[in-house]
């Protein structure tokens, strides 16, 4: 197989490790293969791919999600630099509601994180000029675009940047805490 798919501490969130074949020219890797995902029980229809560039280390993007009927599964990878990546379970009926998974992703290791629908997603850049791409299973919907305050103390996320040093959008500074979030996912 060209891709290894492994569960994380929250089994629905998956770490995806592509096989990388290197030689004197560089490398080749099959980043996504629908049939190998399907063999692992993951059948997704990606419809959009997004690309972000963060100029500064310590840039935080998130925690973001889209509510139904435009909820999104995301397959996240880093093209340049490194990130501290977070997937937060916001499914109220889930035994892991309010828990999160964190992992460092980098352009060097080429690992990816599969963040399923019902999870908020965010990341902090660990290097300047970090580029991140992610495939999603639903088109962007402004009406269904939501977020959770990235540093909500109830979440217990150990971010690698101090709140006073983080580079944030105005929108990401004002998201509600998890306790104030409507039940978008039951």
Q: Is residue 167 part of a domain?
A: yes
Give the pTM: 0.95
Q: Is residue 89 part of a domain?
A: yes
Residue 131 has pLDDT above 80, yes or no: yes
Residue 186 has pLDDT above 90, yes or no: no
110, 37 Cβ separation under 8 angstroms? no
List the domain range (segments joined by +) for residue 156: 8-17+45-180
118, 92 Cβ separation under 8 angstroms? no
Triad 49, 51, 57: Cα angle to 5°: 150
Specify the CATH number for the domain of residue 86: 2.60.120.10
Task: State pLDDT tens for residues 154-179.
Answer: 999 999 999 999 999 999 999 999 99
- The active-site residue, picked from 64, 100, 121, 175, is 64
Q: Is residue 150 part of a domain?
A: yes
Residue 134 is a catalytic residue: yes
Task: State pLDDT tens for residues 38-83.
Answer: 999 999 999 999 999 999 999 999 999 999 999 999 999 999 999 9
Task: State pLDDT tens for residues 90-111.
Answer: 999 999 999 999 999 999 999 9
Q: Is residue 37 part of a domain?
A: no
- The active-site residue, picked from 100, 121, 134, 175, is 134
Q: Is residue 113 part of a domain?
A: yes
Residue 64 is a catalytic residue: yes
Residue 118 has pLDDT above 90, yes or no: yes
Closest CA to 147 of 125, 126, 168: 168
The 10 Å Cβ neighbour count of residue 174 is: 10
Q: Is residue 29 part of a domain?
A: no
Number of domains in the chain: 1
Predicted pLDDT of residue 64: 98
Q: Is residue 106 part of a domain?
A: yes
Predicted pLDDT of residue 1: 73
The two three-digit tokens of residue 59, written as one number: 């840039």
The two three-digit tokens of residue 122, written as one number: 């965010």
pLDDT range class, residue 180, cuts 50, 70, 90: very high
């Amino acid at each position: 197989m060209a891709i290894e798919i492994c569960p994380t501490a929250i089994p629905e969130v998956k770490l995806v490790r592509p096989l990388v074949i290197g030689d004197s020219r560089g490398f080749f890797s099959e980043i996504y293969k629908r049939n190998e995902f399907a063999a692992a029980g993951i059948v997704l229809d990606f419809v959009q791919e997004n690309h972000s560039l963060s100029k500064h280390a310590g840039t935080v993007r998130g925690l973001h999600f889209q509510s139904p009927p435009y909820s999104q599964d995301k397959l996240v990878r880093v093209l340049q630099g490194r990130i501290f990546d977070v997937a937060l379970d916001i499914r109220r009926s889930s035994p892991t509601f309010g828990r999160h998974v964190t992992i460092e992703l980098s352009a060097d290791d080429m690992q990816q994180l599969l963040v399923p629908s019902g999870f908020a997603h965010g990341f902090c850049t660990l290097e300047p000029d970090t580029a991140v791409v992610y495939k999603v299973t639903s088109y962007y919907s402004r009406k269904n675009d939501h977020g959770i305050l990235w540093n909500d103390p109830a979440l217990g996320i150990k971010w690698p940047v101090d709140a006073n040093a983080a580079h944030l959008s105005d929108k990401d500074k004002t998201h509600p805490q998890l306790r104030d979030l409507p039940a978008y996912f039951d």
